Structure 1
Amino acid sequence: MTDPFRQDGAGKPDELDRLWTPHRMAYIRGENKPVDESVGECPFCRIPGLDDEAGLVVRRGELAYAVLNLYPYSPGHLMICPYRHVADYTDTTDAEAAEIADLTRAAMRVVREVSGAHGFNIGMNQGAIAGAGISAHLHQHVVPRWAGDQNFMPIIGRTKTLPELLTDTRELLAKAWS
């Protein structure tokens, strides 16, 4: 049965099903993006002060930590952040750079173990012009990938699907990391 309320962009009824992801609107509207990315307002500076569950922190190191991305590209999308408010990778200390690398490698191992990820996209967007949503605080993305994971949904449907709640993913990864 055709739902007469489903319409294409021109207002004509279509035969497409809808997969609603209203949580993405907060990201699209920039609701959680700080106007001021200074130390006091930066979410990557605030997260370590929260308990692990509330902050979605998966692992804490001495100089950096691993946290789930609140707006993930795929399930298990982590970010590795130094505690220090530093924007540019070249400004990290040798110890910070080493711990970011160690946490990245460990994140890959853990995600691969619990989810069978086939590959990863690893990267840092350095500066707003390079796509950094929060450019004042360095964060490295660890994005798990699976064969066929990026089908038509994000390209045509402008939607990304997640199979479980972020809090459940955080708990699973944190347990496996221990």
Structure 2
Amino acid sequence: MEVLWAPWRLDYILGPKPDTCPFCLPEHTDEDERRRVLYRGRYSFVIMNIFPYNNGHLMVTPYRHVMNLVDIGPEERHEMMDLMHECTRILQTHFHPQGINMGVNIGEAAGAGIKEHLHFHLVPRWVGDSSFMAFASETRVIPEHLDSTYASLKPYFDEYKRKQQSAKEEI
């Protein structure tokens, strides 16, 4: 049996499992880096997937604990789409992927791992990123540590936040 080194998974394996929804975050906290929150908007936020399909796997989710896309209001939808747009720009600028998968799974039958809280996925893709490891041993290789990915993406989102605040001040 081949062994794949993935040290960030040990925290999940040995750590306590939350009794609450992992997407129900307090609006203001000093735990954003630990939770891998990259950006907080008025109605929604951007968070890294801590069990990514690929480096840079991001999620956009509303603060409200809602299951279905039809349950969010126009302001939430608008902000979430703006964040999907900005995440795409940032991923393209930083990682230069050859493609990006975007999706939402609504309900368990659709494959939602956390069906109780709506969230959109953005997964950067490169030709050949699912190498023989995925087919031969059902293993994905994530070449960059989550901490490094967070540190490299956070300045982009900080700049986006500054631009958002400047735009509000001009109004």
When the two structures are superposed, what TM-score results if normalisation uses the length of structure 2? 0.81
**CA pair 100-157 structure 1, distance change in 2 beyond 3 A:** same
| Identity within the alignment, % | 40
Report the equivalent of 2:84.
104
Partner residue of 1:146 out of 110, 122, 126: 126
| TM-fit CA distance, 1:141 | 0.2
Kindly indicate whether the alpha-carbon contact (under 8 Å) linking 2:60 and 2:83 is maintained by their aligned counterparts in 1.
yes
The one-character-per-residue Cα deviations of 1:1-36 (angstroms, maximum 9, x if unpaired) are: xxxxxx5xxxxxxxxx54334655887x7x7765x6
Report the equivalent of 1:11.
none
- Matched to 2:99, the amino acid is G
Q: Is residue 2:56 matched to residue 1:71?
A: no
**Length, aligned pairs only:** 156
- Matched to 1:84, the amino acid is R
| TM-fit CA distance, 1:114 | 0.8
The one-character-per-residue Cα deviations of 1:17-71 (angstroms, maximum 9, x if unpaired) are: 54334655887x7x7765x6xxxx1110137545321110111111111100010
| TM-fit CA distance, 1:155 | 2.4
> Where is the helix percentage greater, Structure 1 or Structure 2?
2
Larger radius of gyration: 1
Report the equivalent of 1:44.
23
**CA pair 65-135 structure 1, distance change in 2 beyond 3 A:** same
Report the equivalent of 2:145.
165
Aligned-residue RMSD, C-alpha: 2.2
| TM-fit CA distance, 1:167 | 1.6
SS at match of 2:151: helix
Report the equivalent of 1:4.
none
Cα distance in structure 1, aligned partners of 2:17 and 2:77 = 25
> Which moves more between the two structures, 17-26 or 107-116?
17-26
Kindly indicate whether the alpha-carbon contact (under 8 Å) linking 1:58 and 1:68 is maintained by their aligned counterparts in 2.
yes
**CA pair 111-94 structure 1, distance change in 2 beyond 3 A:** same
SS at match of 1:142: strand
Partner residue of 2:37 out of 41, 46, 57: 57
**CA pair 24-156 structure 1, distance change in 2 beyond 3 A:** farther
